[in-house]
Amino acid sequence: MKELLDHLCQLARLELPSGEREEFARKFADLVGFVDAIKELHDEGREVPLQVPKERMDTAADEPRDRPCEGEVPRSYAAGHIGDLEENGA
């Protein structure tokens, strides 16, 4: 469970404070047990049904706004060194 939680924390960019880990892992294990009930069904491998109630989307016309920017938003964004982050991209 510890290893699993570490892996999940890495994927989700979360960190559990060391004091809380035990307790958290315990509650998390309870939760996994709770949702494990879903596994009792035997229809794996079937297609995953769609869940959006609307049957088809309405698209937008290719008409941009007049004003370049919408809303009061900051115009400058910075961050620190990307470091060892996995260089993903589309």
Partner 1 sequence: MEYEAVIALEIHAHLKTARKQYCDCPVVNTREIAGANRYVCPVCLGHPGVLPVLNRESVVLAMMLGIRLGADIARHSIFARKHYFYPDLPKGYQITQYQTPLVEGGELEYLADGEMRAAQLERAHLEEDTAKIFYQDDGSILLDYNRAGVPLLEIVTKPVFHCADEAVAYAEELRQVLRRLGVSDANMEEGSFRCEPNISVRRAGSSELRTKCEIKNLNSFAVIRKALEAEITRQIALYEEGSEVQHCTLRWDEEHAVTVPSRIKETQADYRYFDEPDLPPLVLTDDDFAEARERYEDAVFTLKWKGEEQRFAPGTAQLTRFLLDNTDLRESEIAVLLDDEDALRLLLAGSEISGAFRECANWVLMEYRPRRAEAEGYVTPQHIADIVALRADAKLNSTQAKEVFGLCFEQGVSAAEAVAKLGFDQVVSDSDLQDICSQVIAGNEKIVSDIRKGKKQAVRALLGQVMKLTRGKAKPDEAMAELKRQLGK
Partner 2 sequence: MKELLTLTAHELMAKFASGEVAPEEFYALQMRFARHIEPKVRSFLTLAEDGIAPLEATARDGALRGVPVSIKDLLTTTDFPTTAGSRILEGYAPPYDATAVRLLREAGNCFTGKTNLDEFGMGSSTENSAFFATHNPWDLARVPGGSSGGSAASVAALQSVVSLGTDTGGSVRQPAGFCGVVGFLPTYGFISRNGLIAFASSLDHVGLLARDVTDIALMMNTVGRPDRLDATSQAPADADYLAEMNDRESVAGCTVGVINQLMDPALVSEDVLVACEIAIRVLENAGCAVKRVDLAGVERLLPCYYILCPAEASSNLARYDGIRYGAGFPADVSRTLQEHYRAVRSPGFGEEVRRRILLGTYVLSAGYTEAYYNQARRVRHAIAEGISEMFEDVDFLFLPTSPTTAFGLGERIGDPVKMYAADICTVTANLTSMPAISLPGGLSAEGMPVGIQFTAPQKHDGRLLALARLYEEHAGTGYCIPPLVAEELAEFEE
Binding site for partner 1 (CB under 8 A): 10-11, 13, 48, 50-52, 54-65, 68-71, 73-82, 84-90
User: Token pair for residue 32?
Assistant: 């996994």
Segment 13-52, which members bind partner 2 (CB under 8 A)? 13-17, 20, 24, 27-28, 30-32, 34-39, 41, 43-44, 46, 48-49, 51-52
C-alpha 69, offset from chain centre: 28
CA–CA distance, 5 with 2 (Å, rounded to integer): 5
User: Token pair for residue 44?
Assistant: 């794996």
Does 72 engage in binding with partner 2 (CB under 8 A)?
yes
